[in-house]
Amino acid sequence: MKKVSILALHLGYGGIEKCISILANILIEKYEVEIACIYKIADEPAFNIDKRVKIRYLTDVKPNKKEFSFFVKNHKYIKAFKEGINSIKILRLRKKSMVNYIKECDSDIIIATRDIFDEWLGMYGKEDTLKIGWEHNHYHDDMKYAEKIKFSCSNLDYLVLVSNSLNAFYKGMMRNTKCKCLYIPNAIENISDKDGISSLEYNNLISVGRLSPEKGYLDLLKIFNIISNDYPHWHLDIIGDGEEREKLEKYIKQNKLNDKVTLHGFRNKDYIYEMMRKSSIYLMTSYTESFGIVLLEAMSCGLPCISFSSAEGANEIINSGSNGYLINNRNFSAYIKKVEDLMEDIDTRKKIGLNGRKSVNKYTPAEISKKWFSLLEEKK
């Protein structure tokens, strides 16, 4: 039986971490699977991982970015300086531990999930190991970032991209390297059964994701603030946590939305699916998304989805007017109108939701596993 190693930064909450857990659960049915993880930031992984998957933590330290930022923000510069020194030590240990793992790894296949791991895998991976980079981020017109990916992956055998557009872009970028580009979309963990499908009769809007600037949650609150003036009985639920939470809480308080918006923080998949089942429309306001797996999760619950087209991954999932709606140019007025149209029309909500349910079928683990198994059986 072949052995596969997946290189991970941590196994806490995050889009990459969710994808790692799903892939590990897919691959364990055919291979021996090990996740090599630098940081153990919680007692248990945030997402369900098959017990047969071996998880190996490479260090006993945790990143200290929050502590450093806290001391800087509060002008405690001596403590910030000490945390800065500690941060350098942690980053050195991060590299040393992962490089040593790669050098000593006896796996037939190694999959890197971050650009720094791509580079180290290309430099230190054994000659007879199949070396794969797995890119989850969209370069979003940042050519400096794209060049960094090209450099990091130039010595790998394959670079797996999660969207067709990214695959086409990086194929051009990588054409003079040994690395071949391949499109494999992310898989949805599970599709809700009939009991998990929303009736779409609820006065609830929902969004799920990390509370960080690129997710556009402040824009979502501004949009909902306008909508709530005409639809005061509708409620917005936001599930997730992150660096912008304080800013969002401040906006909610200033605009007297406390009774109309709930920030739920991080929640497990059962909680998320239950909240989706009690909602009627899913809203995405991201500035950028490489894939948008949360859209598939919402569609599996029968929710019509609305997204700005700036979330690149959404453009490959949503067929505007059929299984959801894409709003161009981050046009707030057009976004608001589409939300309100759906709020007024349950028949259209159900039609769009049904089409979304059908769209999800090609992203099931059974379908995505075929693409991964085909790649991993590649002979070097």
Q: How many domains does the chain have?
A: 2
User: Residues 243, 167: one domain?
Assistant: no
* 365 pLDDT more than 80: yes
Per the CB < 8 A criterion, the answer to whether 186 and 363 are in contact is yes
Per the CB < 8 A criterion, the answer to whether 17 and 41 are in contact is no
Ordered strands of the 261-265 beta sheet: 261-265, 235-239, 204-208, 281-284, 305-308, 324-327
User: How much is the pLDDT for 379?
Assistant: 57
User: Residues 153, 201: one domain?
Assistant: no
User: Residues 81, 215: one domain?
Assistant: no
Per the CB < 8 A criterion, the answer to whether 131 and 110 are in contact is yes
User: Residues 119, 242: one domain?
Assistant: no
Q: What pTM value is reported for the model? A: 0.87
- Rounded distance between C-alpha atoms, residue 123 and residue 244, angstroms: 37
- Rounded distance between C-alpha atoms, residue 152 and residue 133, angstroms: 9
CATH of the domain at 258: 3.40.50.2000
User: How much is the pLDDT for 371?
Assistant: 96
User: Residues 51, 115: one domain?
Assistant: yes
- Rounded distance between C-alpha atoms, residue 107 and residue 123, angstroms: 16
User: Residues 89, 175: one domain?
Assistant: yes
User: Residues 238, 325: one domain?
Assistant: yes
Taking CA 214 as the corner, what is the angle to CA 238 and CA 120, rounded to the nearest 5 degrees? 120
Over residues 113-157, the pLDDT tens digits come to 999 999 999 999 999 999 999 999 888 888 999 999 999 999 999
Question: Which pLDDT band, with edges at 50, 70 and 90, does 320 fall under?
Answer: very high
Question: Residue 227's domain spans which residues?
Answer: 194-361
Over residues 198-214, the pLDDT tens digits come to 999 999 999 999 999 99
Tokens at 222, concatenated: 């501004």
User: How much is the pLDDT for 223?
Assistant: 98
If you average pLDDT over residues 346-372, what whole number do you get? 94
Q: Give whole-number Cα distances, 206 to 218, 241, 278, in Å.
A: 14, 14, 9
Mean pLDDT of the residues in the chain: 93
* 194 pLDDT more than 70: no
User: Residues 368, 242: one domain?
Assistant: no
* 92 pLDDT more than 80: yes
User: Residues 116, 171: one domain?
Assistant: yes
- Rounded distance between C-alpha atoms, residue 233 and residue 224, angstroms: 12
Burial class (CB in 10 A: 0-12, 13-18, 19+), 246: exposed
User: Residues 298, 177: one domain?
Assistant: no
User: Residues 145, 200: one domain?
Assistant: no
User: Residues 341, 225: one domain?
Assistant: yes
Backbone angles phi, psi at 368, to 5 degrees: -70, -30
